[in-house]
Structures are given as structure tokens and as C-alpha cells.
Amino acid sequence: MPFDVLQFVYLVVAVVAIAAFVAVSALLLVYLERKVAGHIQRRPGPFEVGPHGILQTMADALKLIGKQPFKPDGADSILFWLAPVLAFAPALPLLLPIPFGPLLTGLEVNLGLILILAFSGINVLALCMAGWGSNNKWALLGAARSVAQSVGYEIPLLMSVLAVAFMTGTLNLSQIVADQGPWPWHWNMFTQPLAFFIYFTCAVAETNRAPFDLPEAESELTAGFHTEYSGMGFGLFFLAEYTNMIVVCSVATALFLGGWQAPLLPGFWWFLIKMYLLLLTIMWFRWTYPRLRFDQLLNLNWKWLLPLSLVNLLGTALLMKVF
Amino acid sequence: MEILAKLAFALYALVIITGAIMAVTAKSLVRALVGLIGVMIGVAGMYLLMAAPFVAFMQILIYVGGVSVLIFFAIMLTKASPDGDESSPNSLRSTLNALVAMLAPGIILSVVILRYPPESFPRPTDVGAFDLGEGMLGPYLLPFELISIILFVAMAGAVLVAWRKWGDK
């Protein structure tokens, strides 16, 4: 069947393109993060390697690849090495159903949204394995925090996504984007501002970014769940964190910001611009809000975000029924 | 395509069986859990093979992302050591008993299925999320609601058990 062969080739090309996109974006984001952090704190950031330090992340990546992977004494060897792989492995299925442009979707899945939500849960499992397998107190504490955090924040995140799915009546991301219009008042953010707010807050928490970075809180837990990792073990966790950031921002762009829909420029560039604006916002958060305490983190979730998202969902359902 | 499907089936079956053996024989609780997770992922693959992507994704979302993480959390609260020697080695007698208990229903079921093969579709039909929702809120409303009651009872039971333990102190 020639058609199937063509589809297979398309899928392979998509997977390779996504892998390249992830790697390049991660390099760029690490550089951007350090520059943004530097300028927010009125210092230049990396400046020595290359003009304006632009080759700094390349040097760091080379260093990470060259380092010896090291397993601490008494660690569970299977879990210890499985964890970083499992953290990064879901990256490809996560990015496949995302519509980067009108025709730029890796894999057209009717249940694309569910696929993304399902595979993003695997990350927590990887953190658990890393924390437990390291045989280290800080790692274990980081893993325990990560579980409590992500189990809690996944619920309002699902509910806010569900509100959009209610409105559009589909779980296909391409379809959701196509239903929105080119101008901001056509976007789902306009009709679902509360859902967007809840989604974005929970997304920052799910990716363990500051102010929700308790699983790896440097000042209390050394490095949290990845304390014991060196070389590419640490590199994979790092890559996974940035990939997850890209994924949550892409999903936010597709769900709430009209995806590739925008006037003037071709769609793909708009998608990138919107996604990177969201990524920069997440970096901005990091240097604006201090880290939450653990009880504050759980209170915020269970007493505010969860009831709000429930009210939002019920309100959406009611309005859908009335009109 | 036929061959590809069979290959995929073999792969998933291998994942499931390896995971199951690991879950049963591992000395460390956490390794047993990793085996269980392997089984769950393999079962999700089987659902995909049966053209039920919604069920497969739900399997991953709920069991791999949710339930197994909670089990992990529960294990972390115990004093299990990473070396993993929580269980003493099984005696030969109990191993044999377990083998008999496993093989008896397996052999009986496989003989029955081979003797009276159930009528199957030439290709599995894909049931979309829409039809699934219609079904759950239509003809299957009562079983659907009963399941939620079972979950509620399980949760209430867990709270009750924990309550009693607190009371003892």
C-alpha cells in the first residue's frame, strides 16, 4: 500500500524534525533564560564564550556529554538509570499532535489533547524513580514534594482544558485552532480568561518552574530529585524540563491564543512568537515571585484553583446549555 | 499490515509478561512496582492495537500517571530500603502452588477459546470519543454510575481504616 508507506515516511520525518526542534530550542532557551535572569538582576549574564556569550550553552552541553555518568553507592541501578530516560522519552509523543502551522502537524490525532495529558503524567513517575533510586535524603524529599504537587495541580489543569473542549466540542488540537479566528478577540482566551489563568498557573507548577520549584529547591534540597545525577543523567532531566515547558506553552498557544491563526505573517511564525512569549513569561515569573512554602502551595491549589476551575467548568456547561 | 499487527501484539505481550514476572518475583517493592507499570503500558498498547485509542490514553493517564504514582508515594512513606529485601524468599511449596493457581485458569480458558472461538471482526471498529460518551450517558448509565459508587466506597473504606489506626494511638 503506497499510501501507508508515504504516511510512515511522513511520521519518521516529523519525529526527526521534532527531535531537532527540541534540541535547538533547549539550547536557545537555556541561553535566553540566563540572559533574561541576568538582565532582570541588572547584570549581563553569560558574556565570555562567543559574542555576548552566545556559545555558552554549546560549551555547557559539550561539558555535560563529556562528563562521566556516576552512580552513588547503594543506589538502585535499574531505577537510577531508567529515570532520566523515562523523563525525556515522552517528549516525542507529546509534541507530535501539536499543530505548529496550518499544515504542520506531526500526527493528526483525534484525541490529541488526551494524548498530551496522558503522556505528560509520566514525568512525575520519572521524578519519583530518580528520587527514590538515588538513595539520598534530599532526592527523596524532592520526589515526595513533586508527587504532592503534581497530583494536586493536574486536576485544575485538566478541568480548565476540559472547559475549552466543552466549548469547541472536539479534542483534536488542529480543529480547536481552526475554530478560532485571526484576531485576539476571536481567541479562546477572550471567552475563557479564567481557564487560561488556571491553565497557565498549573502549567508552571506541573513543569516544576519557580515559584513552584519545590521539588528541586536549590536553597533547601541542594538540587532535589536530581541531586545525585551528573553528566548526561542530569542533562536529560534538564532537557526534559525545557521540553515540558515547550509542550505546555505550545498547548496553551493552541488552546487559548489561536495557535497559528493571526494576521499578516505566515502561521508557523506566529505560533513560534506566541509560544516564545509564553516561555519568556514563565522566565519572568521566576525572577518576580519568591518560592512558595509547601503549605501555601497546597492551599493555593486545593482552596483556590480547584474550586475556581470547577465553577468555571459548571458555568461553561450552563452557558453552553442556555445559548 | 497483518504481520505488523502480529509483531506489535508479540511486543506488547512480551512487555506485559516480563513486567508481570518482575512484579511477582522482585524482592524490592519499588522494582515490583516498576514491573506493574510495564504491564500497564503494555496493556495500553493492546488497547491501541484493538483500535481503542481513548481507552489506551485513559489507561496511561489514570494508571501510569496517577495510580502508580500514588503507589510510589505510599511506598516512599514506608521504611523500605533501596537494596530491597522486604520479602523473604518463597518456599518451593508456595511457588508450586502459585504456578498451579496461575496455570489452571490459563489452560482452561485457552482450551475453551481455542475450542469455541468467539466471532471476531475482520478489523476492529474504531469507536470515537463521541459515541463513547453517548453510550456512557445512555444505555450504560447505570453501570457507569455504579463504578463511581464503588470508587466512593473504596475511598470511604480507606479513610475508615486509617481512622481506626489513629484511634489506637
* Residue to substitute from B61, B71, B83, B123, interface A, most A β-carbons within 10 A: B61
Question: Is there a domain that residue A62 lies in?
Answer: no
CA angle B54, B56, B57 (to 5 degrees): 70
Write the DSSP symbol of residue A292.
P
In the numeric block, which cell numbers belong to residue B15?
A: 512487555
3-class DSSP assignment, residue A287: coil
| C-alpha span between B58 and B64 (Å, rounded) | 9
3-class DSSP assignment, residue A129: helix
More confident site: B86 or A271: A271
More confident site: A232 or B80: A232
pLDDT at B84 over 60: no
Distance from A132 to chain B by nearest Cα, in Å? Answer: 7
**Contact: A121, B65; criterion CB under 8 Å:** yes
3-class DSSP assignment, residue A105: strand
Which of A198, A222, A179 shows the shortest CA–CA distance to A313? Answer: A198
Do A144 and B76 touch, CB atoms closer than 8 A? yes
3-class DSSP assignment, residue A24: helix
pLDDT of amino acid B11: 92
pLDDT of amino acid A320: 84
- Torsion A305-A309-A310-A311 (CA) sign: positive
Nearest to A119 among B60, B70, B72 (CB): B60
Phi, psi of A208 (to 5 degrees): 60, 40
**Contact: B73, A144; criterion CB under 8 Å:** yes
Please indicate if any CB of chain A lies within 8 Å of the CB of B54: yes
Question: Is there a domain that residue A152 lies in?
Answer: yes
Residue A27: which H helix or E strand, with range? helix A2-40
More confident site: A295 or B164: A295
A residues 134-193 near B, CB within 8 Å? Answer: 135, 140, 143-144, 147-148, 150-151, 154, 171
**Contact: A121, B60; criterion CB under 8 Å:** yes
In the numeric block, which cell numbers belong to residue A215?
A: 521539588
**Contact: B75, A132; criterion CB under 8 Å:** yes
pLDDT of amino acid B1: 61
Please indicate if any CB of chain A lies within 8 Å of the CB of B69: yes
CA distances (Å), A150 to each of A47, A141, A290, in order?
Answer: 36, 14, 19
| C-alpha span between B124 and B8 (Å, rounded) | 15
Q: Count chain A–chain B contacts defined by CB atoms under 8 A.
A: 93
Identify the CATH assignment for B2-84+126-168 out of 1.10.150.120, 3.40.630.10, 3.10.20.30, 1.20.120.1200: 1.20.120.1200
Under-50 pLDDT residues of chain A: 1-2
**Contact: B69, A124; criterion CB under 8 Å:** yes
Q: What does the H/E/C string look like for chain B?
A: CHHHHHHHHHHHHHHHHHHHHHHHHCCCHHHHHHHHHHHHHHHHHHHHHCCCHHHHHHHHHHHHHHHHHHHHHHHHHCCCCCCCCCCCCCCHHHHHHHHHHHHHHHHHHHHHHHHCCCCCCCCCCCCCHHHHHHHHHCCCHHHHHHHHHHHHHHHHHHHHHHHHHHHHC
Check: pTM over 0.90? Answer yes or no.
Answer: no
End-to-end alpha carbon distance in chain A: 47
Residues of A in contact with B37 (CB under 8 A): 125
Question: Is there a domain that residue A204 lies in?
Answer: yes
Q: What is the pLDDT of residues B6-27, one digit of tens each?
A: 888 899 999 999 999 888 887 7
3-class DSSP assignment, residue A99: strand
Please indicate if any CB of chain B lies within 8 Å of the CB of A79: yes
Q: What is the pLDDT of residues B26-55, one digit of tens each?
A: 777 888 888 898 899 999 998 888 888 888
Total domains in chain A come to 1
Question: Is there a domain that residue A67 lies in?
Answer: no
Please indicate if any CB of chain A lies within 8 Å of the CB of B31: yes
Residues of A in contact with B73 (CB under 8 A): 128, 144, 147-148, 151
In the numeric block, which cell numbers belong to residue A262?
A: 493571526
**Contact: B76, A128; criterion CB under 8 Å:** yes
Phi, psi of A290 (to 5 degrees): -75, 160
Distance from A190 to chain B by nearest Cα, in Å? Answer: 26
pLDDT of amino acid B82: 54
Which of A43, A45, A164 shows the shortest CA–CA distance to A113? Answer: A164
Do A118 and B60 touch, CB atoms closer than 8 A? yes
Distance from A47 to chain B by nearest Cα, in Å? Answer: 41
**Contact: B58, A124; criterion CB under 8 Å:** no
The mean per-residue pLDDT over the stretch B140-148 comes to 88
Give me the domain span that covers residue A250: 73-322
pLDDT at B88 over 80: no
Do A97 and A107 touch, CB atoms closer than 8 A? yes
Nearest to B72 among A114, A128, A154 (CB): A128
pLDDT of amino acid A133: 78
Nearest C-alpha in B relative to A122: B65
Burial-class residue A3 by CB neighbours within 10 Å (0-12, 13-18, 19+): exposed
CA angle A217, A222, A228 (to 5 degrees): 115
Nearest to B34 among A79, A143, A151 (CB): A79
Please indicate if any CB of chain B lies within 8 Å of the CB of A124: yes
3-class DSSP assignment, residue A322: helix
pLDDT of amino acid B16: 92
In the numeric block, which cell numbers belong to residue A224?
A: 532535589
Residues of B in contact with A79 (CB under 8 A): 30-31, 34
Q: What is the pLDDT of residues B107-122, one digit of tens each?
A: 999 898 888 877 776 6
Do B49 and B13 touch, CB atoms closer than 8 A? no
Residues of A in contact with B76 (CB under 8 A): 128, 131-132, 140, 143-144, 147
In the numeric block, which cell numbers belong to residue A8?
A: 510512515
Nearest to A75 among B60, B64, B82 (CB): B82
| C-alpha span between A132 and A76 (Å, rounded) | 8
Percent of chain B with pLDDT strictly greater than 90: 11
